[in-house]
Structure 1
């Protein structure tokens, strides 16, 4: 798996960017193409936040605009193999707050194909159920993939290969990854916005638990839990290094997530090149302080920025779309993480 040269800010002038995006039909009125800098002079990391009131919105248009805002060009995507990794944790028909919504998956596939991707594959290694096809069917995603002729790969089974653990936060040692992951040029974490019983919040970084093959790590990825959820999150992200992160927060989950919680209409899509920066922004949208989540605090400076002063928020201001997700007093991981107003 290779990653393109994807700097935090596009390496072309505003005039060049406007011409390029206009030719692609991607310029939105007032689109921010500049690159802000922090007080120390280093470039800020852009994160795009968009409102989406429901799944009937023009999700493809929103994601295309978001990619443009992030400086993702046809030259980066053309001819590349894209792997979309949604969150398909449980086969609950009609429970749209549990899994990444099928229409968000469709919109993401359309956006990358519009930029010239050679192909898009959707792949997941469900954490609790060994029958990936049952999860796929009951989530509603199977119908969308069939209609759009998109392939699905079960990351829990099939050939795997060993790679060096680039993080070494946990005691996992070398990591075993599916060959399907290595065959992709661009890996996109396509997560759901949810609270989490053990990690506080589960977003694009935690979503990568699903790339770890069940044939090696068990169900529900027990080896990762034994090694520590937060150190494992960090090791997996340091090793896989997704090219982009997109979080479905149109309807999220609050309370006892990632499965037993309640739906909450947050009405947003959040995306960026840095999963760490995206997750920090999502936390602020959820009314959670990213500095109070252990794995995000540990990731800061090594895997990506989380401080508000290091992020360039494009699209909507997270404070303007903030919707405080319910937190449970009796869940230790959710205690004391509320973001102050």
Structure 2
């Protein structure tokens, strides 16, 4: 027997699949294309200490150099994490980290640096940029910001089949990047467990197509959506800089 909660959840997923072009249910077979199963010989991680009041550009530059990441001449898209503003919380990537990353990338020779995000809760990005302080970092560094919730999109067939979605409309700014850098805030998440570089990719899915807070992804399954989004981005060069100076629990 199916209880009401299970029935409502199943109905919501079915409704979402019927409304979105290209959606389909999962079928038997591999859960991702072979091209999405990219495994490096080892994962390189650098943990460096820093302070929001210090020279984070030097710290971030040193970390990029330790990872031997060559950014010279590349169009780099920085994807920070800001979903809401809480004056007493630490839910967003700190503006000092955004500022430091922009400066470090330019010192290392990046051809262009763009900051892009599709906030999950608030639709007013001017408010979020102002209140979080990220807007000041953008003005100070003269950096372009792209609202991914309203960017030009391209229908992209998913390489994973963990959700029934089949395809997603993804922003041209992200798909056109030479290097996509996830810039998340280190924090726990009541459904996903933790928010880091992969969960941060929820923000590239446009709310103008999928609602706030990206409702279709929640209906299809948060963990499953994380897998489908990130496996589909394997054709892009990607990197992560995690703001863990002050994390959030709860």
Q: TM-score range by the shorter chain?
A: 0.7 to 0.9
Q: Could you tell me whether the CA contact under 8 Å between 1:190 and 1:247 is conserved in 2?
A: yes
Alignment-derived partner of residue 177 in structure 2: 184
Q: Could you tell me whether the CA contact under 8 Å between 2:83 and 2:121 is conserved in 1?
A: yes
Alignment-derived partner of residue 52 in structure 2: 55
* TM-score normalised by L of structure 1: 0.59
Alignment-derived partner of residue 33 in structure 2: none
CA–CA distance in structure 2, aligned partners of residues 95 and 211 of structure 1: 26
Q: Could you tell me whether the CA contact under 8 Å between 1:91 and 1:136 is conserved in 2?
A: no
1:254 CA displacement: 0.5
Instruction: Count residues in correspondence.
Output: 210
Matched, 1:103 2:101: no
CA–CA distance in structure 2, aligned partners of residues 95 and 212 of structure 1: 27
- Name which of 248, 251, 254 aligns with 2:243: 248
Alignment-derived partner of residue 67 in structure 2: 70
Q: Give the SS at the match of 1:225.
A: helix
- Name which of 187, 195, 205 aligns with 1:194: 187
1:95 CA displacement: 4.2
CA–CA distance in structure 2, aligned partners of residues 199 and 178 of structure 1: 24
CA–CA distance in structure 2, aligned partners of residues 160 and 176 of structure 1: 6
1:177 CA displacement: 0.3
Alignment-derived partner of residue 44 in structure 1: 42
CA–CA distance in structure 2, aligned partners of residues 109 and 95 of structure 1: 26
1:252 CA displacement: 0.8
Q: Could you tell me whether the CA contact under 8 Å between 1:96 and 1:251 is conserved in 2?
A: no
* TM-score normalised by L of structure 2: 0.80
Alignment-derived partner of residue 234 in structure 1: 227
In terms of fraction of residues, the more helix-rich structure is 2
RMSD, aligned α-carbons: 1.5
1:216 CA displacement: 1.1
- Name which of 93, 113, 118 aligns with 1:125: 118
1:129 CA displacement: 1.0
Q: Could you tell me whether the CA contact under 8 Å between 2:102 and 2:141 is conserved in 1?
A: no
Q: Could you tell me whether the CA contact under 8 Å between 1:155 and 1:212 is conserved in 2?
A: yes
Instruction: Extract unaligned runs of 5+ from structure 1.
Output: 1-6, 9-42, 256-341
1:44 CA displacement: 2.6
Matched, 1:114 2:96: no
Q: Could you tell me whether the CA contact under 8 Å between 1:63 and 1:108 is conserved in 2?
A: yes
Alignment-derived partner of residue 88 in structure 1: 82
- The structure-2 alpha-carbon separation of the partners of 1:207 and 1:121, relative to structure 1 and needing over 3 Å to count, comes to same
CA–CA distance in structure 2, aligned partners of residues 230 and 44 of structure 1: 23
Q: Which runs of 4+ in 1 moved over 2 A?
A: none
